[in-house]
């Protein structure tokens, strides 16, 4: 680090309101489908009504007869386009319109383009297909599915692990549990629908689409269309909810781009919520078997976690959360194994927090079951098994404040007042239950670039091709620049969400704040170093002072002896109007190749469990009170307290919002959310927000977020651990534990609904 640079401020950032708050609440923030575009044509998707087989014939005449229809893009029209690629930037290799094979229900079979949205919709609905239909395999236990080991099938999941002798330790354990858990299919359902608007200016293709990865999509779309990536621009200034669903690009984007080219005018396709269930990614259902062995003293000696996940036929999507669960406690011996179950379904994808939410749900339930089996307080049980190093590679944690989280949350919650006896706590007709669980999320960071410009009047412009998916990253980037350059935040503007900006990694894996802030910090320090050098140079206003003794604050450079110079005077002496610096941040361990890959749209994550020196995770502890009506079994969650430690918190307001949102989602996962699959047709049934249940305001009562101070400079220069995906990990398990405490019923299959508590 430049010695002239100020030390990073420790720990808790200001709770500043979002820099784009006013734009958002006044409707001036343009989401991609709102961006003004002249001469628009509208596209609507036609999708398959079967889940497995082949399209033998398409009937287009009725659709073509609708007045105002302009074009239909279908089989034969995409032949010159490369098939999509499953991987980081691509959601699936299923290339609709490349061949007539149907891999899943709701697969795209055509795009109707018309003068109006209504005509496009009508025409799309009139498109009929004849099929050669086969019987689909819908999910776990369906005849015809294929189960394969997940390890090595996909870059997303490296390996199963084995540490110590699980079998022997488990057999010898005084207390054992062996339990199975499951989580249902879930769909993200961001309020902003999925959309693509594409138009060509000569050879240049411009796409307005909500994206968590504009640089990655630029590269992938250019590959599919076989054009120079320099001729593709993805624009996504604001995103109305993403949660992973707007991370990988889906095949729709290329189809709409081809339609726009054929027509010679802009085409916009906004997918209906119903169609999104089949054309976007989602969280597939998972199953788990967990075995834990422990001594009478409560020390765990054996831990095994087996997981099963559903995926599509062609793409080995896997979340593989055993990486985190296998390292959570001081287990003694560890055994993990993850299997993929291939079914006739669309390819799943990232959904906040992809591996941890289902896997930690299973683990933390099992931990509570074990605490009960041992007759031990569940917090005490976790304290006893707190590790000094992670149990697989025996690497230390870069920092781990889990016990502090438990202490602070337990204290705020009033855990000491809990009567541990099942069903012992009551308020009139309501049974009261209290439970807790651990949250964990790996801390990663990726190469990232940023450009910072400081002008003589003290204005700062930050440019970085990251994405404001609602997390507040634009705000924390502004805070970082304001802090490093000593200017007030209202002097800082931040440009994001455009592939023509300096490239940033995918906004996934909770890496954005750490990666973006590290790059902005580096660019600011370069600006500052230039400014200091100009001030102290011969003839400069602070000639004779030492660069490293200068303090930059309030639009002034101050030297140690009391002399100071305004930025504008330094610029005058330097005979320039602005300083602009471009910085590439590379995490520790990243090669120059990794930085090059950033420009090709490939994000290389560093940290988590992959680091050489230490493993890096953020932690939290969540405590939940449930009330269950003793007659109707109606379930309420009157309060949750979560305490989280995630290194430096850039902005306590946006951090709280992320964690609060995560806990609310956790309640949804515990009690509401599930996509029902019709097993006869491998078809999603409840494809709208009327039937796909999520919590509403009335479901959410008292939520308390405690930010536990933690300093960790090993994670990255900004000292930031991610927390976007931390809050909803563990919540559902804490609810399940509280339900057990109230009723004596251990519900191992999500969501927990009234019918499971009756009888």
Contact residues toward ligand MOS (CB under 6 A) are 212, 243-244, 247, 350-352, 354, 508-509, 725
Output 101 or 154, the one with its CB closest to ligand MOS. Answer: 154
How far is Cα 754 from Cα 745, in angstroms, rounded to an integer?
Answer: 12
Measured over the CA atoms of residue 220, residue 223, residue 224 and residue 225, the dihedral's sign is positive
Question: Nearest approach, Cβ of 215 to ligand MOS (angstroms)?
Answer: 15
Output 242 or 583, the one with its CB closest to ligand MOS. Answer: 242
Q: Cα-flanking dihedrals φ and ψ of residue 110, to 5°?
A: -170, 160
Question: Nearest approach, Cβ of 266 to ligand MOS (angstroms)?
Answer: 28
Instruction: Burial-class residue 89 by CB neighbours within 10 Å (0-12, 13-18, 19+).
Output: buried
How far is Cα 695 from Cα 699, in angstroms, rounded to an integer?
Answer: 6
Longest dimension (CA), the chain: 87
Output 467 or 528, the one with its CB closest to ligand MOS. Answer: 467
Question: Nearest approach, Cβ of 516 to ligand MOS (angstroms)?
Answer: 15
**Helix ranges restricted to H, 226-302:** 252-263, 273-279
Rg over alpha carbons for the chain, rounded to the nearest Å, is 27
Question: Nearest approach, Cβ of 188 to ligand MOS (angstroms)?
Answer: 9
Output 509 or 662, the one with its CB closest to ligand MOS. Answer: 509
How far is Cα 305 from Cα 285, in angstroms, rounded to an integer?
Answer: 16
How many other C-beta atoms lie within 10 A of the C-beta of residue 2? 13
How far is Cα 395 from Cα 57, in angstroms, rounded to an integer?
Answer: 59
Residue 462 · residue 487 · CB < 8 Å:
no
Question: Nearest approach, Cβ of 177 to ligand MOS (angstroms)?
Answer: 30
Question: Nearest approach, Cβ of 348 to ligand MOS (angstroms)?
Answer: 11
How many other C-beta atoms lie within 10 A of the C-beta of residue 29? 17
Question: Which residues are registered as beta bridge partners of 640?
Answer: 624, 703
Question: Nearest approach, Cβ of 468 to ligand MOS (angstroms)?
Answer: 13
Question: Which residues are registered as beta bridge partners of 677?
Answer: 684
Q: 389 by DSSP, 3-state: which?
A: strand
Output 113 or 234, the one with its CB closest to ligand MOS. Answer: 234
* Cβ density class 330-347: b for 16+ within 10 Å, e for less: bbbbbbbbbbbbbbbbbb
Output 391 or 607, the one with its CB closest to ligand MOS. Answer: 607
Q: What is the helix (H) or strand (E) element at residue 307, kind and residue range?
A: strand 300-311
Active-site residue (options: 364, 584, 625, 725): 725
Output 184 or 354, the one with its CB closest to ligand MOS. Answer: 354
Q: Cα-flanking dihedrals φ and ψ of residue 515, to 5°?
A: -70, -45
Would residue 725 show up in a list of annotated catalytic residues for this protein? yes
How far is Cα 64 from Cα 623, in angstroms, rounded to an integer?
Answer: 58
Output 96 or 505, the one with its CB closest to ligand MOS. Answer: 505
Question: Nearest approach, Cβ of 351 to ligand MOS (angstroms)?
Answer: 5
Residue 48 · residue 55 · CB < 8 Å:
yes
List the catalytic residues. 725
């Amino acid at each position: 680090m430049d010695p002239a640079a100020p030390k990073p401020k420790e720990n808790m950032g200001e709770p500043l309101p979002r820099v784009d708050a006013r734009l958002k609440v006044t409707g001036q923030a343009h989401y991609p489908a709102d961006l003004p575009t002249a001469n628009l044509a509208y596209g609507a998707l036609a999708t398959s009504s079967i889940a497995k087989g082949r399209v033998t014939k398409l009937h287009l005449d009725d659709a073509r007869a609708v007045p105002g229809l302009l074009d239909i893009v279908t089989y034969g029209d995409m032949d010159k386009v490369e098939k999509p690629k499953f991987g980081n930037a691509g959601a699936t290799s299923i290339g609709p319109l490349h061949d007539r094979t149907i891999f899943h229900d709701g697969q795209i079979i055509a795009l109707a383009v018309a003068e109006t949205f209504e005509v496009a919709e009508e025409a799309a609905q009139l498109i009929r297909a004849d099929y050669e239909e086969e019987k689909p395999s819908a999910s776990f236990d369906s005849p015809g599915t294929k189960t394969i080991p997940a390890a090595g099938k996909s870059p997303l999941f490296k390996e199963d692990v084995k540490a110590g002798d699980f079998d022997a330790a488990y057999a010898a354990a005084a207390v054992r549990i062996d339990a199975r858990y499951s989580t249902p299919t879930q769909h993200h359902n961001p309020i902003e629908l999925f959309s693509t608007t594409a138009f060509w200016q000569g050879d240049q293709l411009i796409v307005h689409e909500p994206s968590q990865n504009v640089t990655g999509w630029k590269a992938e779309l250019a590959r599919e269309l076989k054009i120079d990536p320099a001729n593709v621009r993805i624009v996504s200034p604001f995103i109305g909810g993403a949660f992973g669903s707007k991370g990988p690009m889906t095949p729709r984007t290329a189809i709409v781009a081809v339609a726009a080219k054929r027509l010679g005018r802009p085409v916009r396709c906004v997918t209906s919520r119903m169609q999104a269930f089949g054309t976007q990614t989602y969280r597939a259902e998972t199953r788990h078997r967990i075995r834990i062995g422990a001594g009478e003293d409560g020390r765990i000696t054996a831990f095994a976690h087996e997981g099963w996940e559903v995926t599509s036929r062609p793409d080995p999507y896997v979340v593989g959360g055993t990486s985190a669960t296998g390292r959570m406690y001081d287990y003694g011996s560890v055994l993990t194994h993850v299997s993929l179950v291939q079914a006739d379904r669309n390819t799943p994808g990232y959904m906040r927090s992809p591996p941890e939410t289902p896997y930690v749900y299973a683990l933390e339930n099992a931990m509570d079951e074990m605490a009960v089996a041992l007759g031990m307080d569940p917090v005490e049980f976790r304290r006893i098994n707190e590790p000094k190093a992670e149990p697989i590679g025996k690497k230390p944690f870069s920092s781990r404040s889990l016990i502090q989280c438990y202490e602070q949350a337990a204290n705020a919650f009033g855990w000491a007042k809990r009567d541990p006896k099942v069903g012992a706590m009551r308020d009139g007709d309501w049974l009261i239950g209290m439970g807790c669980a651990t949250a964990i999320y790996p801390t990663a960071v990726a190469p990232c670039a940023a450009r910072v410009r400081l002008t003589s009047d003290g204005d700062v412009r930050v440019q970085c091709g990251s994405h404001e998916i609602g997390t507040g990253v634009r705000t924390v980037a502004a805070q970082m620049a304001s802090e490093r350059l000593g200017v007030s935040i209202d002097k800082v503007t931040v440009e994001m969400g455009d592939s023509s900006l300096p490239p940033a990694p995918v906004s996934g894996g909770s890496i954005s704040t750490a990666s973006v802030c590290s790059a902005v910090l580096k660019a600011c320090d370069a600006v500052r170093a230039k400014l200091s050098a100009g001030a102290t140079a011969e003839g400069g206003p602070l000639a004779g002072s030492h660069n490293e003794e200068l303090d930059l604050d309030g639009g002034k450079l101050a030297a140690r002896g009391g002399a100071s110079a305004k930025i504008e005077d330094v610029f005058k002496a330097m005979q320039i109007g602005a300083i602009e610096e471009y910085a590439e941040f590379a995490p520790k361990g990243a090669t120059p190749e990794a930085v090059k890959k950033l420009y090709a749209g490939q994000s290389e994550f560093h940290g988590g469990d992959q680091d050489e020196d230490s493993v890096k995770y953020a932690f939290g502890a969540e405590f939940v009170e449930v009330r269950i009506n003793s007659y109707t079994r109606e379930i309420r969650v009157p309060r949750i307290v979560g305490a989280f430690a995630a290194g430096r918190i850039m902005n306590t307001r946006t951090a709280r919002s992320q964690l609060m949102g995560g806990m609310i989602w956790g309640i949804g996962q515990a009690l509401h959310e599930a996509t029902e699959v019709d097993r006869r047709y491998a078809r999603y049934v409840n494809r709208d927000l009327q039937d796909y249940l999520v919590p509403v305001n009335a479901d959410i009562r008292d939520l308390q977020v405690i930010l536990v101070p933690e300093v960790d400079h090993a994670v990255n220069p900004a000292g930031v651990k991610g927390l976007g995906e931390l809050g909803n990990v563990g919540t559902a398990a804490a609810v399940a534990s509280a339900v057990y405490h109230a009723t004596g019923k251990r519900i191992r299959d999500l969501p927990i609904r009234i019918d499971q508590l009756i009888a």
